């Protein structure tokens, strides 16, 4: 189908963009890569009066590295992020997720910021942001805010970002020593989106004890979210086969799992455990330190 | 020899193209974006239509308010059924009304009192641009009084089920009985019986190109031209003529390039009639182009049969009798050939096996869903799935090896032509040969041994096979007309040789990607001994080809290929007579080879070229006694019977115990389509068909919820196979020529979709049966397989 008509603006500066958003916040849509917005417009699930195309805001397309963090501009494309070796070497799950996200065409246009702002309950980057404790920076004429990923995704396709705010960049702290990460996704054969996916980050000290664990899911609930139960199971423990099994068994605890014709609730709840176990093992494999008696994940 | 062709053996002469993998001449334009598809056609003064559709599965239309839509920018007209009389927009005819049916329910292009499925057309908005039409369509306000709906064919036959059509007492349109003999006594005497319930779910072709229809009524001539993607321009012409009351000689139907059809573009659709009637009223051309959501909800899907199958066998596993009760979902109306498909499906339920007794009841049932129609295989995938699943169950239950059991029951080569117990005659076959070849290709015994080792490690692995036969090339015409088939079975070709010796072939088929321009040219160039580049094949325009029956049932080679060959033979006979006259020898003394006629064995004799003969025929000055000028001939071929392609497909699968996901590790397909015109095209057809069969086996389902709301309206929900879902296909062939046409061809367009779904599902069943799973219905989604494994292990 063809979208209903709308006014189009492509501001050249952040200031202009923010002032356009301030004008008619509730009737304006930001467009970054358009890979989610354009389908919505075409299906007429969204019919904004004004579309503000932010692709000319070059400053939002940069990746900056500081001694302690990566600052990823909102307009950095999936492909660009996937190809950034400094980031993917330290955060392996970025490469895992990026390689499984859509196809090369979409990855060339779709943006990291757009993906987070869109807050698709099955989006891949949201789970990565959660597992990596990313901090999301937004700005409006009213000022700037920063929101920890864990507080950002509030409901189906809804994030803590106001209509007049623009997501400008995401801060990804460099991982603590001993951190290994991985992302494992089971995709839907039609959409390619996650039926269930897990991003994990484990910080393991020299004695083999897990000091910090992040286990985040997407595709399984009304928002991408973390599993407190799995994280608690892992933190403070030696990550052996038994611990992994406990994390798998409890991964879905407290999660209001969604079901559909392709993956009913019970099955999806089970998959949460499957991707949890696989992601933990994949992360551990990267530590060159495999726990006793486990099989290599086959994904 | 055309450059780039793959040739197994040096052909006998340089113009021997039959059996050679000549590269498809269509591919250049399709791969470089230079083909013209319907939506590429823009006519001057053209308007655009947007159709307003029912949002409910079953409802009375209380009112339709169009005033607000009429005043939207660019809107030229808004029409509902009330705007047209029966003479301008009558009901849509079908091509197959079984004699036992109590008529067919009237299907008006725009719904009148009630709507009977979500997506049924209710109104049409015509505007200066597509966007204006789409925008204004939102302003058409339809008030409905909802009625109860029914979507499942078996439930629809129960007492008290909501009635789809008020004028009938039941939703059952017909119960057709097939078979001879007494099941009960055979079953009572049998050593083994099996009983399985199978669901062959509704699937959708979902072609890349959805439907498009452009009508152009010229008031000056009274001629209506309709451009659309279709598999049969002549059938569309006839049915459109009936629906709108313009005689066939004032309707022109054109199909440019078609981006996939697979049976879904065989019938006349409501929108074709709507744009035609609207163009006639408004005296301007009108284009309607379907959205993907409209395609999923309005364009016919296929299959949707629920079957209860029983087999009775003796101690050795020799099958004595087959009993089947089928509930076939017709949808809300009877579309095109929709009513007949379940019945001809039943005619091949016995498959490749010599089964003396069959007792088959087929219930054709109306429901509040979109119509079912031909979809790649149309009845034969259902039949092959039914018998091949049941035979595997029998083997398991009787404890007889499934390969051995099949061999014991095969119809033997000497039995052909063979009439099965459900009334179908198979032309030829040699199933052992194909089976041996397939087993050898996969290394069956080694795979069985590997499987035992894998199972010992706890892996869930399976091997499955299917042996199928089917029917192609729709004939014989007499028998088919007895069962109400209202299409022709013949195909015609006209060949014209121009003054410069180039050849025009007009065929009555309409390709939608099958490569017929190449394969027909191969046949004609070979028959005429000419370079293939001198032969042009025309199709898809009723003003270019006046008569024809179309492309379906894999009939194009056996029917149009044959008529083209026969027309070419007439041309060559006439040209030879003329050459003899020119060379001043007896016709019988003329030797013809590669475009040159000689008065004796080449190279010694005197010679005239084909082109020189063409010039002479065109001048018409010095012709043999009684010969008319020009080289132009027509041939019409009416096949005496169906052809029966057959084959063996084998799949090896492994199931991920954690997720239930099925992975196909090996896939072997050995198919026999008789003589092959173009082996590469044959293999390509197998690849495409297998992809669609695997799609049905593992992924696809077009479903509605209980209220009749469609669950799949986009490629976000409907999983058409992607490249990474496909296993590597290992294909092989045997060649058993058909005796029912002079080319010995059988047809191959659908075979891949017929052999594949039972092979894959049998492989999965083989993997899980010993774990306690006794039945699984397609699609074998991970959730379904995992849940069945969980339940079995409890
Ligand atoms: C075929 C296909 C397959 C896909 N498969 C996957 C998949 O497997 N996994 C996956 O995660 N995603 C998938 N996607 C979605 C893709 O990742 C999108 O690119 C992404 O979700 C949105 O990024 P975008 O830049 O295209 O945003 P847009 O489409 O431009 O915008 C999306 C939404 O975010 C808002 N927005 C965008 N940028 C900003 C900003 N800087 N500040 C404030 N609001 C903003 C927009 O207003 C809009 O509401 C797929 C998309 C397609 C077309």
The SS3 assignment for A51 reads strand
From ligand 1's centre to the CA of B334, what distance in Å? 43
For A267, the closest of B135, B725, B786 (CB atoms) is: B786
Looking at the complex, report in whole angstroms how far the Cα of residue A189 sits from the nearest Cα belonging to chain B.
Answer: 6
Q: Which band of pLDDT confidence, cut at 50, 70 and 90, is reported for residue B475?
A: confident
Q: Could you read off the pLDDT of B373-431 as tens digits, one per residue? A: 999 999 999 999 999 999 999 999 999 999 999 999 999 999 999 999 999 999 999 99
A192 lines ligand 1 (CB under 6 A): yes
Q: What is the pLDDT of residue B603?
A: 67
For A190, the closest of B131, B658, B719 (CB atoms) is: B719
Asked if the C-beta of B719 comes within 8 angstroms of chain A's C-beta atoms, the answer is yes
| CA B118-B776-B184 angle, 5° bins | 100
Cα A220 to Cα A259: distance, rounded to the nearest angstrom: 8
**Average pLDDT in chain B:** 96
Q: Is the pLDDT of residue B714 over 50?
A: yes
Q: What is the pLDDT of residue A289?
A: 45
Q: Is the pLDDT of residue B3 over 60?
A: no
Topology of the domain covering B27-35+490-637: Aldehyde Oxidoreductase; domain 4 (3.30.365)
| CA B567-B568-B573 angle, 5° bins | 100
From ligand 1's centre to the CA of A33, what distance in Å? 7
Listed by start position, the domains of chain B span 27-35+490-637, 38-147+210-256+265-298, 302-475+641-792
A126: CB partners within 8 A, 6+ apart: A115, A116, A119, A120, A149, A152, A153, A216, A218, A223, A224
From ligand 1's centre to the CA of A23, what distance in Å? 24
Q: What is the pLDDT of residue A297?
A: 40
High-pLDDT (> 90) share of chain B, %: 96
From ligand 1's centre to the CA of B335, what distance in Å? 41
Asked if the C-beta of A190 comes within 8 angstroms of chain B's C-beta atoms, the answer is yes
From ligand 1's centre to the CA of A39, what distance in Å? 10
The SS3 assignment for B503 reads strand
Helices (H) and strands (E) in chain B, counts: 20, 28
Looking at the complex, report in whole angstroms how far the Cα of residue A267 sits from the nearest Cα belonging to chain B.
Answer: 6
Task: Point out which residues pair with A173 in neighbouring strands.
Answer: A69
The SS3 assignment for B124 reads strand
* Contact residues, chain B, for A190 at CB < 8 Å: 699, 715-720
Q: Which atom number of ligand 1 is nearest to the Cα of residue A46?
A: 49
Topology of the domain covering B38-147+210-256+265-298: Aldehyde Oxidoreductase; domain 3 (3.90.1170)
Helices (H) and strands (E) in chain A, counts: 12, 14
Pick from A219, A262, A298 the residue to mutate for testing the B interface (most B CBs within 10 Å): A262
The chain B residue lying nearest A43, using CA atoms, is: B293
Q: Which atom number of ligand 1 is nearest to the Cα of residue A54?
A: 41
Asked if the C-beta of A62 comes within 8 angstroms of chain B's C-beta atoms, the answer is no
For A262, the closest of B135, B291, B781 (CB atoms) is: B781
A164 lines ligand 1 (CB under 6 A): no
A129 lines ligand 1 (CB under 6 A): no
Pairwise CB contact (< 8 Å): A274 & B722 = no
Cα A19 to Cα A12: distance, rounded to the nearest angstrom: 12
Question: Which protein residue has the closest C-alpha to ligand 1 atom 14?
Answer: A102
* Contact residues, chain B, for A261 at CB < 8 Å: 703, 711
Question: Which protein residue has the closest C-alpha to ligand 1 atom 44?
Answer: A117
Q: Is the pLDDT of residue B659 over 50?
A: yes
| Ordered DSSP codes for B635-658 | EEE--SS-B--EEEEEEEEEE-TT
Q: Which band of pLDDT confidence, cut at 50, 70 and 90, is reported for residue B11?
A: very low
For A267, the closest of B656, B718, B787 (CB atoms) is: B787
From ligand 1's centre to the CA of B129, what distance in Å? 30
How large is the C-alpha radius of gyration of chain A?
A: 19
Question: pLDDT under 50 in chain A at which residues?
Answer: 289-299
Q: Is the pLDDT of residue B691 over 80?
A: yes
From ligand 1's centre to the CA of A110, what distance in Å? 6
Q: What is the pLDDT of residue B602?
A: 65
For A2, the closest of B131, B293, B725 (CB atoms) is: B131
**Cβ neighbour number for residue A176 with a 10 Å cutoff:** 12
Asked if the C-beta of A279 comes within 8 angstroms of chain B's C-beta atoms, the answer is no
* Residue labelled with tokens 């095209």: B681
Q: Which band of pLDDT confidence, cut at 50, 70 and 90, is reported for residue B158?
A: very high
Tokens of B367: 């429901």
A32 lines ligand 1 (CB under 6 A): yes
Domains located in chain A, CATH noted = 7-53 (3.30.43.10), 58-173 (3.30.465.10), 179-285 (3.30.390.50)
Is omega for the bond preceding B16 within 30 degrees of 0, making it cis? no
Give the helix/strand (H/E) hosting B123.
strand B121-127
A193 lines ligand 1 (CB under 6 A): yes
Overall average pLDDT of the B48-55 stretch: 98
Q: Which band of pLDDT confidence, cut at 50, 70 and 90, is reported for residue B13?
A: low
Overall average pLDDT of the B491-501 stretch: 96
* Contact residues, chain A, for B659 at CB < 8 Å: 186, 271, 274
Domains B27-35+490-637 and B302-475+641-792 share a fold: yes
Looking at the complex, report in whole angstroms how far the Cα of residue B114 sits from the nearest Cα belonging to chain A.
Answer: 27
Q: Which band of pLDDT confidence, cut at 50, 70 and 90, is reported for residue B4?
A: very low
Contact present, B628 and B492 (Cβ < 8 Å): no
Q: Is the pLDDT of residue B786 over 60?
A: yes
Pairwise CB contact (< 8 Å): B722 & A189 = yes
High-pLDDT (> 70) share of chain B, %: 98
Cα A70 to Cα A85: distance, rounded to the nearest angstrom: 12
From ligand 1's centre to the CA of A111, what distance in Å? 6
Q: Which of B421-425, B599-603, B645-649 has the lowest mean pLDDT?
A: B599-603
Cα B565 to Cα B635: distance, rounded to the nearest angstrom: 9
Contact present, B303 and B127 (Cβ < 8 Å): no
Asked if the C-beta of B699 comes within 8 angstroms of chain A's C-beta atoms, the answer is yes
The SS3 assignment for B707 reads coil
A106 lines ligand 1 (CB under 6 A): yes
For A189, the closest of B658, B711, B719 (CB atoms) is: B719
* Contact residues, chain B, for A5 at CB < 8 Å: 131, 135
Q: Which band of pLDDT confidence, cut at 50, 70 and 90, is reported for residue B605?
A: confident
* Contact residues, chain B, for A47 at CB < 8 Å: none
For A261, the closest of B703, B720, B725 (CB atoms) is: B703
Measured in whole angstroms, the distance separating CA B260 from the mean position of its chain's CA atoms is 11
Question: Which protein residue has the closest C-alpha to ligand 1 atom 20?
Answer: A115
Q: Could you read off the pLDDT of B279-317 as tens digits, one per residue? A: 999 999 999 999 999 999 999 999 999 999 999 999 999
From ligand 1's centre to the CA of A106, what distance in Å? 9
Q: Could you read off the pLDDT of B332-367 as tens digits, one per residue? A: 999 999 999 999 999 999 999 999 999 999 999 999
Pairwise CB contact (< 8 Å): B717 & A190 = yes
Topology of the domain covering B302-475+641-792: Aldehyde Oxidoreductase; domain 4 (3.30.365)
Q: What is the pLDDT of residue B8?
A: 42
Q: What is the 3-state secondary structure (H, E, C) of chain A?
A: CCCCCCEEECCCCHHHHHHHHHHCHHHEEEECCCCCHHHHHHCCCCCCCEEEECCCCHHHHCEEECCCEEEEECCCEHHHHHCCHHHHHHCHHHHHHHHHCCCHHHHHHCEHHHHHHHCCCCCHHHHHHHHCCCEEEEEECCEEEEEEHHHHEEECCEECCCCCCEEEEEEEECCCCCEEEEEEEEECCCCCCEEEEEEEEEEECCCCEEEEEEEEEECCCCCCEECHHHHHHHCCCECCHHHHHHHHHHCCCCCCCCCCCCCCHHHHHHHHHHHHHHHHHHHHHCCCCCCCCCCCCCC
Q: Is the pLDDT of residue B687 over 50?
A: yes
Pairwise CB contact (< 8 Å): B716 & A191 = yes
């Amino acid at each position: 189908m063809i979208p209903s008509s709308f006014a189009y603006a492509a501001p050249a500066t952040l200031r202009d963009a923010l002032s356009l958003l301030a004008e008619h916040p509730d009737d304006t849509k930001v467009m970054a890569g358009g890979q989610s917005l354009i389908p919505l417009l075409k299906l007429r699930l969204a019919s904004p009066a004004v579309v503000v195309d932010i692709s000319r805001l070059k400053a939002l397309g940069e990746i900056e590295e500081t001694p302690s963090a990566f600052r990823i501009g909102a307009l950095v494309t999936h492909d660009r992020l996937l190809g950034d070796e400094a980031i993917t070497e330290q955060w392996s799950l970025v490469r895992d997720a990026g390689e499984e996200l859509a196809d090369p065409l979409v990855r060339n246009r779709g943006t990291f910021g757009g993906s987070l702002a869109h807050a698709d309950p099955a989006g891949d980057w949201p789970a990565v942001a959660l597992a990596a404790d990313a901090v999301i920076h937004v700005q409006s004429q009213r000022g700037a805010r920063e929101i920890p990923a864990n507080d950002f995704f509030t409901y189906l396709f809804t994030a803590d970002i106001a209509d007049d705010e623009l997501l400008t960049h995401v801060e990804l702290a460099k991982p603590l020593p001993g951190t290994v990460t991985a992302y494992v996704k089971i995709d839907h054969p039609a959409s390619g989106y996650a039926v269930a996916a897990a991003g994990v980050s484990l910080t393991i000290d020299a004695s083999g004890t897990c000091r910090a664990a992040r286990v985040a899911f997407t595709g399984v609930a009304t928002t991408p979210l973390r599993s407190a139960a799995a994280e608690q199971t892992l933190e403070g423990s030696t990550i052996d086969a038994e611990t992994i099994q406990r994390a798998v068994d409890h991964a879905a605890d407290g999660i209001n799992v969604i079901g559909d014709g392709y993956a009913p609730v019970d099955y999806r709840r089970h998959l949460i455990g499957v991707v949890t176990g696989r992601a933990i093992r994949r992360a551990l494999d990267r530590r060159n330190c495999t726990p006793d008696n486990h099989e290599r994940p086959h994904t | 020899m055309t450059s780039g062709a793959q040739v197994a053996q040096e052909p006998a002469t340089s113009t021997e193209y039959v059996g050679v993998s000549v590269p498809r001449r269509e591919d250049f334009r399709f791969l470089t974006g230079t083909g013209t598809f319907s939506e590429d056609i823009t006519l001057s003064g053209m308007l655009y239509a947007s159709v307003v559709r029912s949002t409910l599965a079953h409802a009375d239309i209380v009112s339709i308010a169009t005033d607000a839509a009429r005043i939207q920018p660019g809107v030229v007209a808004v029409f509902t059924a009330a705007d047209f009389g029966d003479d301008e927009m009558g009901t849509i005819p079908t091509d197959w009304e079984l004699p036992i049916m109590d008529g067919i329910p009237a299907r008006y292009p725009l719904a009148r009192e009630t709507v009977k499925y979500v997506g049924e057309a209710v109104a049409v908005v015509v505007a200066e641009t597509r966007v204006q039409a789409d925008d204004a369509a939102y302003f058409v306000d339809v008030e409905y009084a909802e009625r109860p709906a029914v979507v499942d064919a078996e439930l629809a036959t129960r007492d008290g089920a909501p009635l789809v059509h008020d004028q009938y007492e039941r939703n059952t349109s017909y119960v057709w009985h097939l078979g001879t003999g007494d099941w009960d006594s055979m079953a009572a005497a049998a050593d083994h019986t099996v009983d399985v319930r199978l669901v062959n779910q509704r699937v959708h072709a979902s072609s890349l190109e959805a439907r498009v229809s452009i009508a152009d009524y010229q008031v000056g001539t009274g001629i209506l031209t309709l451009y659309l993607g279709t598999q049969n321009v002549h059938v569309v012409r006839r049915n459109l003529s009936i629906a709108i009351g313009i005689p066939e000689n004032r309707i022109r139907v054109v199909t440019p390039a078609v981006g996939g059809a697979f049976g879904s573009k065989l019938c006349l659709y409501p929108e074709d009639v709507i744009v035609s009637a609207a163009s006639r009223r408004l005296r301007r051309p009108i284009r309607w182009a379907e959205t993907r959501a409209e395609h999923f909800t309005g364009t016919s899907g296929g299959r949707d049969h629920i079957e209860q199958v029983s087999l009775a066998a003796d101690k050795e596993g020799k099958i004595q009798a087959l009993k089947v009760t089928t509930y076939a979902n017709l949808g809300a109306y009877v579309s095109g050939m929709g009513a007949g498909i379940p019945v001809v499906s039943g005619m091949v339920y016995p498959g490749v096996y010599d089964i003396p007794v069959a007792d088959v009841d087929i219930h054709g049932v109306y429901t509040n869903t979109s119509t079912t129609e031909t979809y790649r295989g149309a009845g034969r995938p259902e039949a092959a799935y039914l018998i091949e699943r049941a035979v595997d169950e029998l083997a398991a239950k009787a404890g007889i090896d499934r390969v051995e059991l099949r061999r014991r029951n095969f119809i033997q080569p000497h039995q052909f032509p063979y009439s099965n117990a459900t009334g179908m005659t198979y032309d030829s076959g040699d199933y052992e040969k194909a089976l041996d070849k397939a087993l050898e290709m996969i290394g069956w015994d080694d795979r069985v041994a590997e499987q035992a080792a894998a199972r010992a490690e706890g892996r869930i692995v399976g091997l499955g096979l299917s042996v199928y036969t089917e029917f192609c090339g729709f004939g014989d015409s007499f028998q088919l007309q007895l069962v109400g088939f209202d299409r022709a079975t013949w195909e015609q070709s006209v060949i014209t040789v121009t003054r410069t010796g180039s050849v025009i072939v007009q065929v009555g088929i309409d390709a939608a990607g099958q490569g017929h321009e190449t394969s027909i040219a191969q046949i004609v160039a070979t028959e005429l001994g000419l370079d293939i580049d001198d032969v042009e094949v025309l199709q898809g325009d009723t003003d270019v080809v006046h008569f024809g029956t179309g492309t379906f049932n894999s009939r194009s080679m056996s029917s149009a290929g044959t008529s083209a060959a026969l027309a070419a033979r007439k041309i060559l006979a006439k040209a030879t007579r003329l050459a003899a006259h020119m060379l001043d020898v007896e016709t019988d003394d003329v030797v013809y080879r590669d475009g040159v006629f000689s008065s004796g064995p080449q190279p010694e004799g005197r010679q005239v070229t084909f082109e020189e003969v063409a010039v002479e025929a065109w001048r018409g000055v010095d012709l043999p006694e009684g010969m008319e000028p020009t080289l132009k001939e027509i041939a019409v071929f009416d096949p005496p019977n169906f052809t029966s392609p057959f084959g063996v497909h084998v799949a090896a699968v492994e199931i991920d115990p954690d997720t239930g996901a099925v992975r196909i590790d090996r896939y072997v397909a050995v198919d026999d389509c008789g003589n092959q015109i173009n082996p590469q095209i044959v293999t390509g057809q197998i690849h495409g068909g297998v992809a669609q069969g695997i799609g049905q086996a593992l992924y696809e389902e077009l479903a509605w919820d209980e209220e009749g709301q469609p669950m799949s309206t986009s490629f976000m929900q409907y999983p058409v196979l992607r490249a990474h879902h496909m296993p590597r296909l290992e294909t092989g062939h045997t060649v058993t020529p058909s005796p029912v046409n002079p080319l010995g061809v059988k047809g191959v367009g659908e075979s891949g979709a017929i052999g594949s779904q039972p092979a894959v599902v049998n492989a999965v069943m083989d993997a899980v049966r010993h774990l306690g799973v006794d039945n699984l219905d397609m699609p074998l989604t991970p959730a379904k397989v995992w849940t069945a494994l969980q339940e079995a292990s409890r």
